[in-house]
Structure 1
Amino acid sequence: MKDRKEKALQRLARIEGQVRGIARMVEEDRYCIDILNQALAVKSALSQVELLLLQDHADECVEDAIGAGNAEEQRQKFQELVSVFEKVCR
């Protein structure tokens, strides 16, 4: 889980650089398709960060709720996952 956090932070730092690069491309009036391709790469990279965070949530928060035996907390954690999936599927 600590490994996932490190990976997420590394990816976010890389994404930050990519976004700055896209801004420069726009300022320089670069070819639209090149800019769009870079934006798609950022979108894909963010999806990977989302996956890491989702795995972390399942491994820690959901597992803790199951281990605690608290039915209300379990329902809440499950509902959080459902809400995220609803947003992803839109």
Structure 2
Amino acid sequence: MMADAEKVSRLLKTARGQIDGILRMIEEDRYCMDISNQIQATSSILKKTQLEVMKAHMHSCVRESFETGSPEDRNKKIEEVLHLLEKAAP
């Protein structure tokens, strides 16, 4: 993985901590809106993490494919990115 592993790990550990906190909130029967706010915050961190990984992919793997790869390899990289964007679309 070409992304900043330290940054990605830090973000994922933060998300994991938030998920643990959400589980505690549920066990403590906390207010629904407070739980929902924490779920949104966790989702935002995961989206930010995904963006970091995709930026690195575009700047390394995709760039390399366009500089040295075959037309088939370039098309494969494009399709991979498009497939991920399709999954992310509402």
TM-score, normalising length: structure 1: 0.93
List alignment gaps of at least 5 residues for structure 2: none
Query: Does structure 1 conserve the Cα–Cα contact (< 8 Å) formed by 2:15 and 2:45?
Result: yes
Q: Name the Cα RMSD after superposition.
A: 1.5
Q: Secondary structure of 2:88's partner?
A: helix
**Equivalent position of 2:43 in the other structure:** 43
**Equivalent position of 1:5 in the other structure:** 5
**Equivalent position of 2:76 in the other structure:** 76
Q: Which has the higher helix share?
A: 1
**Distance apart, 1:73 and its partner CA:** 0.3
**Equivalent position of 1:65 in the other structure:** 65
Q: For residues 75 and 2 of structure 1, do their structure 2 counterparts lie closer, same or farther at Cα, with a shift above 3 Å needed?
A: closer
Q: Secondary structure of 1:29's partner?
A: coil
Larger RCO, structure (CA 8 Å, separation 6 or more): 2
**Distance apart, 1:67 and its partner CA:** 1.5
**Equivalent position of 1:88 in the other structure:** 88
List alignment gaps of at least 5 residues for structure 1: none
